[in-house]
Amino acid sequence: MWLFLATEVLFFGALFVAYAVLRSRFPEVFSYASHYLDTVMGGVNTCVLIISSLTMALAVYFAQRGKKFALVLCLWLTMSGAVGFLVIKYFEYTHKIHENLVWGPSFYVPPHSHEGDLERSVLAKAPAPAANPVPAPTDPSATSLVSLAARPPADASAIKPAQSGPKGLGAWSAPTAAAAAAMQPQDPIPAEAPSDHLADPKLPPNTHLFFAIYYAMTGLHGIHVVVGMIVIGMLIFRATRGDFGPNYYTPVDLIGLYWHIVDLVWIFLFPLFYLIH
Amino acid sequence: MAHSHTAAHGNASEHAAGHPLVGHLVPVSTLLFTALTLLVLTAITVAVRYIDIGEFNIWVAIGIAVVKAALVATFFMHLRWDRPFNLLVFVGCTLFVVLMMAFCVLDTGQYRASQYTGNPPVAQQTLDANAPGAPVALQKEDINP
């Protein structure tokens, strides 16, 4: 079993190496993009996994003592910890995919194309120049901090070209006012309404790499949690049948070891992704 | 710790009634204390995030994670009472991962200058096509002048 655990460590180790290389190459991307992860959800997930690890260790103890009811109870508690972890993870993932915080070029596609998305259509309607005549701010540096979605497109011309870069707003602002005015009557949702992360002027290049390694590592970890649920389910079946006792508890022990290593990997993933200062 | 360990061992021997135990009966108090310590360390590592100690943030975070991992391996995975060979396998493979990591980081650092600084072409094309106004086209030099 320990040899298998060693292969697991090497398996995740390769991804940790990829993480280290990316982070040493793009430190600004990691310190920036980490703020898109929900520390509360990650912290709760850490606690859930630690407690499920505890119940798994207690299950081994009760199997050794031959306490069948306590064993089955602890296995169910471990199982519910795994389910809770995946439910929280599901909310995190769907939120990010919803916002196009994903790997690859899709990261740079504004996520406003879903029909009937109330929140986003309200957001996208806000910059309509005719509906909301907001006076143009005079301070260009203040303008750049305002989300693109919340400001009339005409204001784009107020941004200094130096801040917008070679392909940024400076080049784009000239046709915007006319195009937006022409487009407005037919299409109340402007096509250029970006998501929050695309509107952020501090977004460093290659930020999608953070999400690539994030999904790779947490995804592989999530697969391990699913596998853990399957084997713990088998344990529950056998424990309920009364297979385990002081003379025979090796399956509980070994699956417990597997479950602890899943917990152990998350102990490293949590600070490395969620807690970057 | 040594005292409770001996006590628990005596208990286990009674229950095993002559059978050779595969593992060791880790006392419940030890397990609960380990879990409590892990939760406290989690709270500490979250708190440290909001304190700016520069480059040490990452090392403190990794250090706490290593302590937590050691606690899990020692008590939850009962390595403390296992054959030393298991410890050798586990620590050995971890050290080799660290070695591989160190060499990869050193190596990529050597040809950093030859790598591009902006977005990769595919990402930039998607960006230009979909959100031409997004200031993401900034180059690295513009962000940190």
Mean pLDDT, chain A cut into blocks of 10 residues (277 residues total) = 94 95 88 89 95 96 93 96 96 88 79 49 46 44 42 43 41 44 43 57 82 95 96 96 91 95 95 89
Chain-chain contact of B25 with A65 (C-beta, under 8 angstroms): yes
Amino acid occupying residue B99:
L
What is the total residue count of chain A? 277
pLDDT given at position A117 = 44
Chain B contact for A175, CB < 8 A? no
Whole-angstrom distance, CA of residue B123 vs CA of residue B103: 29
Residue the block writes with tokens 């229950």 = B15
DSSP symbol at A157: G
pLDDT given at position A230 = 97
pLDDT given at position A208 = 87
Complete DSSP assignment for A212-237? HHHHHHHHHHHHHHHHHHHHHHHHHH
pLDDT given at position B144 = 45
A208-241 and A250-269 helices, crossing angle to 10°? 160
- Domains of chain B: which residue ranges? 10-81, 85-112
Q: How many CB atoms lie within 10 A of CB A108?
A: 29
Chain A contact for B19, CB < 8 A? yes
Residue A244 CB contacts under 8 Å (≥ 6 apart), including other chains: A63, A68, A71, A238, A251, A252
Residue of B nearest to A168 (CA): B135
Label residue B91 exposed, middle or buried (CB < 10 Å: 0-12, 13-18, 19+).
middle
Domains of chain A: 2-105+207-274 (1.20.120.80), 124-194 (no CATH)
User: Is pTM beyond 0.90 here?
Assistant: no
> In chain B, what residues touch A104 (CB-CB under 8 Å)?
123
Residue A92 CB contacts under 8 Å (≥ 6 apart), including other chains: A37, A38, A41, A42
| Beta carbon pairs, A and B, within 8 Å | 240
Whole-angstrom distance, CA of residue A149 vs CA of residue A125: 9
Residue B35 CB contacts under 8 Å (≥ 6 apart), including other chains: A50, A51, A53, A54
Whole-angstrom distance, CA of residue B2 vs CA of residue B114: 57
Could you say which residues of chain B have pLDDT below 50?
Answer: 1-20, 136-145
Structure tokens at B16: 């095993």
pLDDT given at position A135 = 45
Nearest to B137 among A104, A168, A194 (CB): A168
Residue of A nearest to B104 (CA): A21
Question: What is the predicted ipTM?
Answer: 0.75
Shortest CA distance to A52 belongs to which of A240, A213, A258, A217? A258
> In chain B, what residues touch A169 (CB-CB under 8 Å)?
133, 135
